[in-house]
Structures are given as structure tokens and as C-alpha cells.
Amino acid sequence: MDILEALDERRSTRGFLDKPVEKETLERLLSLATQAPSAINIQPWEITIVSGEERKRLSRLLEKRMRERNISCGPGAKRPLQEYFVERQRGLLESMLPNLPEGTPFQDYINEGSCNFYGAPTAIIITIDEVFSKARLTDIGLLVAYLVLAAHGLGLGSCPIGLITAFDNEIKETLNLPEEKQVVIGIALGYRDPDATVNHSRSERAPLNEMVKWRE
């Protein structure tokens, strides 16, 4: 697949087939994703692949904690956002809402779906050692970008799941990860269900002139 096409085509998948991803495909995906650049090639990411019963167990725990704490998926901003940012979020909601089961509140759908990795057979948990500064999160972002694009190229669907970072301690405990690791993001991964209407949504992007300044 052409990389430029992949950049344009890829969108998050929130409905998956009940079909495991083969070990060889996962290995190929990981070897492509870890070609991502990182500052001084330090490759600060640590990747845990959670599949099968373990994936279900993790979701049961997240769903339980979500019911207890009712976290909501948001941008984690320090102040109220400017209107044009709010408008972009609204655009996502408007693109997804018509494709959700009737009467489903959007926030509940995202919260519950995220904790269940939208039913994906594999959840990828990406952690970083707390020895690193916040600057190294850029490296993780690049890894995630490579990973979601490589997944697309391999015929897989994916969705980054930031919401689960609210349950960092619980995830580390259940996956036996050391205390000094920080959960940066999860990724739902599997084969895209073509019949899941939510997958027919396509988020749009703001026009370039809203985001880019040219200086000559």
C-alpha cells in the first residue's frame, strides 16, 4: 500500500471482527511500528500486547473502575478551550452519532467502548519509564502514528485509547508492570468489522488555514 494513500485513508476503528490477530502479523506490525524515529534513537517505548482471556480480564477491570469513578474522555486541558477547538470536537460527535446504536449517549458509548477496546481481540499498552521527561512523549506519539498506519497497511483496524490512562495503577497491577512505568496510551487492534456502522463514520480535519501560518 502506498504510504500517502494510507495517511489519507486511515481512520479509527471502533467495531472489530471476533477474529484473533495472528502472532506473525503482530510481530510484523511491531517491527514496522518500531521503525519510528526517536530522539537520539533512544526508543523509550515499552509495549505490552494483551490478547485472549487476558484482554477480557483487563477490560472487566477497567469497566468496573469506570463505573466506580466515571471518568470522561476529554482533551485534558488546563483552561476552557477556544471555540474552534470545541467546534472540532463537535464535528467528531456529529460524524459518529448517526452511526451509533439508536439512543446511545455519545459519552457512554466512548467510555464503555474504550474500556472494552471496542471488542478488539488485542489491546496494546504502551508505557514509558518515569525516568524520562515529558519531552519523550513525542517519541511515543511517533510510535503510535507508525503503529496505526502500519496496522492499516496490514489490513487491520486500530483505535488509540487515551481514556484508560486514568487507570494507570490498576493496569500496571493487573499486567504485572513495575510501579515506575507510566501508561501513556492503549491501542485497540484487530480486523475491522465492515458491518459495524460506527466504522462508516469519517472524522474530518480543519482547513489548513486554521492551523498553518506561513512566514516568508
Ligand X SMILES: Cc1cc2nc3c(=O)[nH]c(=O)nc-3n(C[C@H](O)[C@H](O)[C@H](O)COP(=O)(O)O)c2cc1C
User: Which residues contribute to the site for ligand X (CB under 6 A)?
Assistant: 11-12, 73, 92, 110, 113-114, 159-163, 185, 203
Q: Which is nearer to ligand X, 9 or 27 (CB)?
A: 9
Whole-number minimum distance, CB 24 to ligand X, in Å?
A: 26
Picking from 133, 120, 139, 147, the residue whose alpha carbon sits closest to that of residue 58 is 120
Work out the angle at residue 60's Cα, subtended by the Cα atoms of residues 100 and 155, and round it to the nearest 5 degrees: 55
**Full DSSP string of 116-162:** TGGG-SEEEEEEEETTS-GGGHHHHHHHHHHHHHHHHHTT-EEEEE-
Which grid coordinates are listed for 148? Answer: 496505526
Q: Which is nearer to ligand X, 26 or 149 (CB)?
A: 149
Whole-number minimum distance, CB 184 to ligand X, in Å?
A: 9
Whole-number minimum distance, CB 129 to ligand X, in Å?
A: 19
Residue listed under C-alpha cell 471482527: 17
Whole-number minimum distance, CB 216 to ligand X, in Å?
A: 31
Q: Which is nearer to ligand X, 51 or 113 (CB)?
A: 113
Q: Give me the amino acid identity at 1.
A: M
Residue nearest to ligand X (CB): 162
Whole-number minimum distance, CB 43 to ligand X, in Å?
A: 19
Q: Give me the amino acid identity at 21.
A: V
Q: Which is nearer to ligand X, 23 or 72 (CB)?
A: 72
Residues 6+ apart with CB under 8 A from 3: 149, 153
Q: Which is nearer to ligand X, 49 or 160 (CB)?
A: 160
Residues 6+ apart with CB under 8 A from 210: 84
